[in-house]
Amino acid sequence: MRTVGVDLAAEPAKTAVATVEWGDGSARVIDLRLGATDADIVEAAIRADRIGVDAPFGWPDAFVEFLAAHHRRSPVRDLGLDTRAGRLPLVRRRTDRMVHAATGIVPLSVSTDLIAHVALRCAGLLADLAVAGVDTGRVDGRVVEAYPAAALQRWGLPFRGYKGTVNATRLAALTGEIEVAAPGLELGGFRARCVTSDDAFDAVIAALIARAVALGRTALPDPGDRDVADREGWIHLPTSPLDTLFG
């Protein structure tokens, strides 16, 4: 099996793509590139069994409906938009609320935070992948939504404070902890890249999440939430320890 992990950013300069080849009890990183374009991602994805992308796949239903009504100049009333509580349905997707309940982590809002630029790029990338013949279903397609911080939390590993140059020591330590928790993981010549770039590190984690999805070891939406998740996207949270991915 081959999985690909993508740490998507608004621009290629901060985008990383990792390709992992899975064998009997092992997972070898065979490619890890920084500065990845959409074309680079599509090229890697079409050769993979599963692709994990760290980016929102959609927007909250309520936000989309609100914008459409506002754009048509239809009356938008009685939403309580003068308070944060009233705006919450426009700010958080169903999957964001589920992740918060399960992990205590609050995902960035695709409609109100800086990650909106990433989501716009992701929408274009998903369209390119679909044209290339890749299943882009937003719940359990071949491309899945990954959230490295939440996955690390579920695996019992540090999930905060490793990003940015000021946290280089923590990133190096976390890379070592991943290797201990997943002794079958072979970073090889790409280890130095993981130690020095949190983008590269997160791309590898996204590839591990893709493996968990392929093995059926992530939480899926309840039947009543499935239609919403098909539109808004669904963050895959691992449901088994990290080392179980190597069996």
Residue 218 backbone dihedrals phi, psi, to 5 degrees: -135, 155
Residue 208 tokens, joined: 């591990």
Which contiguous run of DSSP H or E holds residue 4? strand 2-7
Measured distance CA(186)–CA(9) in Å, rounded: 25
> What torsion do the CA atoms of 117, 40, 205, 135 make, to the nearest 10 degrees?
80
Cα separation, 149 vs 201, whole angstroms: 11
DSSP 8-state secondary structure symbol assigned to residue 156? T
Distance in angstroms (rounded) separating the CA atoms of residues 20 and 41: 14
Query: Quick one: pLDDT at residue 86?
Result: 87
The C-alpha atoms of residue 5 and residue 23 are separated, in whole angstroms, by: 17
Q: What's residue 81's pLDDT?
A: 84
Specify the length of the chain in residues: 247
* CA-CA-CA-CA torsion sign (200, 201, 207, 210): negative
Q: What is the pLDDT of residue 166?
A: 78
As to burial, measured by CB atoms within 10 angstroms (0-12 exposed, 13-18 middle, 19+ buried), residue 5 is buried
Classify domain 2-58+118-246 at the CATH topology level. Answer: Nucleotidyltransferase; domain 5 (3.30.420)
Domain chopping of the chain, boundaries: 2-58+118-246
**Contact by Cβ (8 Å): 7, 202:** yes
Tens digit of pLDDT for each residue in 27-78?
999 999 999 999 999 999 999 999 999 999 999 999 999 999 989 988 776 6
Alpha-helical (H) ranges within the chain are: 38-45, 61-71, 84-91, 94-103, 115-131, 148-154, 168-181, 191-196, 198-214, 226-232
- Regions of the chain where pLDDT drops below 70: 77-78
| pLDDT at position 75 | 74
Residue 94 has which token pair? 């169903």
Q: Distance between CA 75 and CA 131 in Å, rounded?
A: 37
d(CA 135, CA 142): 5
Over the stretch 19-30, which tens digit does the pLDDT of each residue have?
A: 999 999 999 999
Dihedral pair phi/psi, residue 58, rounded to 5°: -165, -175
pLDDT computed for residue 79 by the predictor:
73
Give, in degrees to the nearest 5, the angle at Cα 3 between 60 and 187.
115
Which of 21, 15, 26, 48 is CA-nearest to residue 245? 26
Q: pTM of the full predicted structure? A: 0.96
b or e along 186-210 (b: 16 or more beta carbons within 10 Å of the residue's beta carbon)? Answer: bbeebbebbbbbbbbbbbbbbbbbb
